Amino acid sequence: MNAQKTIIILGGGTGGLVAANELKKKAGEKARVILIDKNPNHIYAPSFLWLMLGKRQAEKIQKPLSLLKRKGIEFINEEIIKINPESKLVKTQNQNLQYDYLIVSLGAELVPEKIPGLAESGYNLYALKGVEKLRDDLENFAGGKVAIVVSSLPFKCPAAPYEAAFLLNERFQERGISGKTEINIYTPETLPLPSAGPDIGKAVAEMLAERKIGFNPETKLVSVNPQKRELQFSAQGGSASGGENGKTTSFDLLVFIPPHQGPKVMKDSGLGNEAGWIPVDKETLKTKYDTVFAIGDVIAATVASGKPRPKAGVFAHYEAEVVAENIARELKRLPADKKYDGHASCFLETGFGKAGFAHGNFYHAPAPAIKMKRSGRIWHWGKILFEKYWLWKWF
Whole-angstrom Cα distance, residue 306 to residue 327? 29
Start-to-end C-alpha separation, the chain = 32
Closest CA to 392 of 104, 31, 44: 44
Burial of 137 per CB tally in 10 Å (0-12, 13-18, 19+): exposed
Structure confidence by residue, pLDDT tens digits, 215-261: 999 999 999 999 999 999 996 544 434 434 588 999 999 999 999 99
pTM above 0.85, yes or no: yes
Residues of the chain with pLDDT under 50: 1, 237-244
DSSP category for residue 277: P
Long-range pairs of 339-342 with CB within 8 A, sequence gap ≥ 24: 339/283, 339/284, 340/282, 340/283, 340/284, 340/285, 341/283, 342/282, 342/303, 342/368
Domains along the chain with CATH numbers: 5-108+262-340 (3.50.50.60), 111-259 (3.50.50.60)
- Whether the CB-CB separation of 357 and 372 falls below 8 Å is answered with yes
Neighbour tally for 296: CB within 10 Å: 30
Torsion of CA 373, 378, 383, 388, to 10 degrees: -150
**Helices 313-331 and 14-27: angle between axes, nearest 10 degrees:** 20
d(CA 327, CA 325): 6
Cα 206 versus chain centre, distance: 24
> Do 72 and 33 meet the contact criterion of CB atoms below 8 Å apart?
yes
Cβ-proximal residues to 42 (8 Å cutoff; 6+ apart), any chain: 12, 13, 17, 62, 63, 64, 65, 394, 395
**Coil/strand/helix, residue 136:** helix
Q: How far apart are CA 217 and CA 187, in angstroms?
A: 5
